[in-house]
Structures are given as C-alpha cells and as structure tokens.
Amino acid sequence: MNNHEIDYKLYGDDMQFVEVELDPQETVIAEAGSLMMMDDHIRMETIFGDGSKKQGTGFMGKLLGAGKRVITGESLFMTTFTNEGAGKKHVSFASPYPGKIIPMDLSVLNGKLICQKDAFLAAAKGVSVGIEFQRKIGTGFFGGEGFIMQKLEGDGMAFVHAGGTIHKRELKAGETLRVDTGCLVAMTGGIDYNIEFVGGIKTALFGGEGLFFATLRGPGTAWVQSLPFSRLASKVFAAAPERGGSKGEGSIADGLYNIFGGDRK
C-alpha cells in the first residue's frame, strides 16, 4: 500500500466525530480547523496541499498542487498529525455541522472517490486530494455546487462528512439518478455524471428548486445527503428577524432576490 494504514472509530449520532488510531510514525491529514482532540506525542504540521506523491516535487510542484485546492474554495494548507510516541495514539476530528461521517476505504472503491468540495474531513497520509472538473464548462460555470468537486485517490482510508440523513444508492449499468447538486455527497469514479439545467423557466424561477441538478449514470455507488449545509444556512437566514419585510418562504420576491443576489443588510 502507498497510504498509511489507520484504524478508526466513530462516536455520536447526529454530531459525530471520528477517532483515528495511529501506530508509531503513522500520519493522518485533515482540513484545517477539523481537529477536536489528540493524545500527547502527536506532532502537528502545516503543509502545502495533501503531501501525497501526486502533488509533485519541489517547491513549485507543491505550490501548484496545493493551489488547485483554492479553486474548490479550500485553503492552500492542510494539517498532518504524526504519532511520534512509542505506542498507539489517538487523534479525533469533528463534523462541522449536524450530519454523518462516512468512512471510505479507497482500496475497495477502485482507488478513486469524487465528493463535494466541502465534504472532505480527513484521510490517511498518501491519499491525494485534488479537483474533478465538470467536463461541460458552459453548464459548469452556472452549475453552482455541481461544477467543481474534490477527487480523492489512493488506497487508504478517507472520511467525508454530509448533512442530515445519508442514503447510499447502488446504480446498475445504464441506470440514471437525478440529484439536486447540493444533495450529492460523493460517488465512485466509474459513474458518468453531468450537470443539467432544470427545464422550464417557471420551474427554475418559482419552483423552489435550484436551476441545475446532477445526472448520474451507473454503474457505481452514490451517496446522497438529505440536508446540505447551503440549504440549512438559507433556512436559518430566512428565519432571522433582522431580515425584516414580508417576503414569505418561496415567494416570487424572495425567489428573484436569491437568483440575482444582493446585500440583505
């Protein structure tokens, strides 16, 4: 194996955290800010990108590899946690909002997983965290969450986070599933996917749904979340008293306001 072999345990139900067990000199990588707690003799280090072999060598190679993460809205840097003690040590990472942490063994997923840009939580050192471009750039620029997704490659463990209830869907060859772009958490590399425009201008403007959805075509496995963070945040914001006015949920004024965007202050 090219990746470190790590053991783990999940705790909690709707606000989960994952405890990773590290043998001496084993390392796990994680997004900045995801640490919950760790044992003594674990060394933290901030690095460019993910530190994998696919990132490239030399300063410029590492900088360019890490720079790709900026496109997905992530930081240039990630954090590594290495056990420098004599025995087993533990480090824990918490989910950022209510939902589930999904363990992904890349060795049984043909070495590749495509996930939402904000779904990645942590992984064994050696897992490459890159970007997966939507092939049709025209729809991509207007596809919101569906345009650029993260690509996890390797043969180790990775952990992704999703909101609400998680549904795992197995797609047979040629079987098609249409998913709201925000509800798609992850999918295996064998799935053919595209971002499509919601037909009918009335549906797009007043139907209460997004302008785009993801079309997945099997064979492969897809993970879907019932409560994407963007949807949760919009509902919280809609209920905030400082908004004022009488724009009801799903109203024409609110729909047009959300489409064109603006400063609500």
pLDDT range class, residue 54, cuts 50, 70, 90? low
- Reported as a single tens digit per residue, the pLDDT across 88-103 is 999 999 988 888 999 9
Question: Does 36 have pLDDT greater than 80?
Answer: yes
Domain membership of residue 203 (yes or no) is yes
Query: For the domain that residue 84 is a member of, what is the CATH number?
Result: 3.60.160.10
Strands ordered across the beta sheet of 120-124: 42-48, 77-83, 27-30, 120-124, 157-163, 99-105
pLDDT bucket at 5, cuts 50 / 70 / 90: confident
Q: Domain limits at 132? A: 7-239
For residue 246, being part of any structural domain is answered with: no
Domain assignment present for residue 148? The answer is yes
What is the tens place of the pLDDT at every residue in 219-261? 999 999 998 887 777 778 888 776 554 445 455 555 545 555 5
Q: Is the pLDDT of residue 31 over 80?
A: yes
Q: pTM score, two decimals? A: 0.78
Q: Is residue 226 part of a domain?
A: yes
Whether 245 is in a domain gets the answer: no
Q: Does 244 map to a domain?
A: no
Report the number of distinct structural domains present in the chain.
1
- Give the model confidence (pLDDT) of 116-171 as tens digits: 878 999 999 999 888 886 555 444 444 444 457 888 999 999 999 999 899 999 99
Structural domain includes residue 2: no
Q: Specify if 256 maps to a domain.
A: no
Q: What value, to the nearest 5°, has the Cα angle with vertex 251 and ends 245 and 254?
A: 60
